[in-house]
Structure 1
């Protein structure tokens, strides 16, 4: 995950960094024949109050992702002078929630339409570029 974030942060277009992140997640989600989901999300679902170390580790990873979304949204707003009515922190919370939701759904039934629609609405609601059609296949 950290390698993906580092690679995407190097893109000159911060909006494409976020869309690219979700395109990769979508590809992995729809092309996992075992429907394993995501190790981070699976770990989050298994944490409990007695396992403080695991909770801390999961929290740190989720914060890394949230921070990536927030920094890219801030850069996007500055670069494009886009006013979406949603600040970068709120947008990052929304994108993180969508990410976690689709990864949980992937464990049960990775319905391509459900996952693609959820991502697409999240991106367009923030003024970000949509997923390319080839990314969903």
Structure 2
């Protein structure tokens, strides 16, 4: 009879997200994963498969946890401009206080692996598309209510927002300057103002 699992699979996946986010796929050994997750090798491999499979599950978990949460905020926002402002201000603040320079797990993974792994590239592309669609829906609502400028198409603004959000996260990996982040966020918000 098989032993019952004595761990929460989603909590372990959250830990895996953090490990891969901090170290990258190629920067972490199997032993570091086992130690970081607090599981035996057999439990790890029986539940999650090999390192690549665990990484893919962690990437999908991040997409649900981080990207999904942001999309929910955008979809539920009454004041679209304010929620977009909050997203960018929070991202900028996080870049300044993140002394580990972790940036964004999706962006990091795209840079490290997407050119060599079609499945990972597809997961990241789907995540980016979902994020852009979330911004698109919010911008469309904001344009209809007069909260967001109509000088550019909603699609162009949504793409602009995702590119700038990912850019801020990337810049945040390398000892960012507060003035650069503040200026960037202020310019983004100025583009959105009606």
Indicate how the Cα distance of structure 1 residues 80 and 23 shifts in structure 2: closer, same or farther if over 3 A, else same.
same
TM-score, normalising length from structure 1?
0.83
**1:58 equivalent in alignment to 2:124:** yes
Structure 1's consecutive aligned runs of 4 or more residues displaced over 4 angstroms after TM superposition are none
Let me know the Cα RMSD of the aligned residues: 1.8
> Which consecutive unaligned segments of at least 5 residues does structure 2 have?
1-65
Question: In 2, Cα distance between the equivalents of 1:123 and 1:62?
Answer: 21
2:88 match = 22
Question: In 1, Cα distance between the equivalents of 2:156 and 2:70?
Answer: 22
- The structural deviation recorded for 1:81 is 7.2
- The structural deviation recorded for 1:82 is 5.5
Q: After superposing the two structures, state which structure 1 stretch, 49-58 or 9-18, moved more.
A: 9-18
User: Per-residue displacement from partner, 1:109-129 (whole Å, max 9, x unpaired)?
Assistant: 21111112112101111217x
Counting matched residue pairs gives 128
TM-score, normalising length from structure 2?
0.61
2:157 match = 91
> Which consecutive unaligned segments of at least 5 residues does structure 1 have?
129-137
1:80 match = 146
Task: Check the 8 A contact 1:86/1:126 in 2, yes or no.
Answer: no
For residues 1-137 of structure 1, the aligned pairs below 5 Å read: 1=66, 2-80=68-146, 83-127=149-193
Task: Give the structure, 1 or 2, with the largest relative contact order (CA under 8 Å, sep 6 or more).
Answer: 1
